[in-house]
Structure 1
Amino acid sequence: MAKAERISPADFTCVLYEVRNHVAIITINRPERRNALNRRAYDEVEAAFRAASADTDVRCVVVTGSDPAFCSGEDVKEMMTGEEHGKSVQRLTAVRPEPTPAAVAALECDRPVIAAVNGAAVGWGMELTLFADIRIASEQAKFGEIFIKRGLITDVGGLWRLPAIVGPAKAAELLFTGDVIGAREAERIGLVTEVTPHDQLMERALAMADRIAVNAPLALRFMKEGLRRTAYGDLREIGSWVSGTLGKLFETEDHREGVKSFLEKRAPVFKGR
Structure 2
Amino acid sequence: MSYENIELKDEDAIARITLNRPEKLNSFTAAMHAELADALIKTETRGARVLVLTGSGRGFCAGQDLSEREMSAGSGPIDLGATIEKHYAPLVRRLRALPMPVVVGVNGVAAGAGANLALAGDIVIAKQSASFIQPFCRLGLLPDTGGTYALPRLVGHARAMGLSMLGDKLSAEQAAQWGLIWQCVPDDQFDARLDELARHFARAPTKGLAYTKRALNHSLANTLDQQLDLERDLMRELGASVDYAEGVSAFLGKRQPEFKGK
Using the size of structure 2 for normalisation, the TM-score is 0.77
CA contact (8 A) 1:138 1:201 kept: yes
Amino acid at match of 1:39: A
**More divergent stretch after superposition (189-198 vs 112-121):** 189-198
The alignment partner of 1:103 has SS state of helix
Question: Is 1:86 aligned to residue 77 of structure 2?
Answer: no
Larger radius of gyration: 2
Matched, 1:12 2:39: no
Match of 1:26 in 2: 17
Closer, same or farther: CA 205–88 of 1 in aligned 2, 3 Å: farther
Deviation at 1:64, TM superposition (A): 0.4
Alignment CA distance shift 1:115-1:87 (3 Å): farther
User: 2:166 & 2:106 partners in 1: Cα distance?
Assistant: 22
Q: State how 1:60-139 maps to structure 2 within 5 Å.
A: 60-81=50-71, 84-86=72-74, 90=78, 92=80, 94=82, 100-139=89-128
Seen in structure 2, the aligned counterparts of structure 1 residues 89 and 75 have a Cα distance that, compared at 3 Å, is farther
Q: Among the aligned pairs, what percent are the same residue?
A: 31
SS at match of 1:26: strand
Contact between 1:35 and 1:72, CA under 8 Å: does it hold in 2?
A: yes
**Mapping of residues 1-273 of structure 1, within 5 Å:** 8=1, 11-56=2-47, 58-81=48-71, 84-86=72-74, 90=78, 92=80, 94=82, 100-231=89-220
Distance in 1, Cα, partners of 2:56 & 2:37: 18
Structure 2's unaligned 5+ residue stretches are: 223-262
Deviations 1:135-156 (A, max 9, x none): 1110121101111111111224
* Alpha-carbon contact 2:17-2:51 (below 8 Å) kept: yes
What are the superposed Cα offsets for residues 168-198 of structure 1, whole Å, 9 maximum, x if unpaired? 2211211121111111111211112222222
Aligned partner of residue 159 in structure 2, secondary structure: helix
Number of equivalenced pairs = 221
Q: Give me the whole-angstrom Cα distance separating, in 2, the residues matched to 1:139 and 1:114.
A: 17
Question: Matched residues in 2 for 1:133 and 1:96: separation?
Answer: 21
Deviation of 1:17 after TM superposition, in Å, equals 0.6
How much has 1:75 moved relative to structure 2? 0.6
Query: Normalized against structure 1, the TM-score is what?
Result: 0.74
Q: Which moved more, 1:45-54 or 1:138-147?
A: 45-54
Distance 1:96 1:127, change over 3 A: closer
CA distance in 2, matches of 1:71, 1:94: 21
Could you say if the C-alpha distance between residues 50 and 89 of structure 1 is closer, same or farther in structure 2, counting changes exceeding 3 Å? farther
2:105 is paired with a residue whose SS is: strand
Amino acid at match of 1:22: A
Asked if the contact 1:28–1:66 (Cα under 8 Å) also holds between the matched residues in 2, the reply is yes
Deviation (angstroms), 1:18: 0.7
Gaps of 5+ in 1: 1-7, 234-273
CA contact (8 A) 1:184 1:195 kept: yes
For the aligned residues, what is the CA RMSD? 2.2
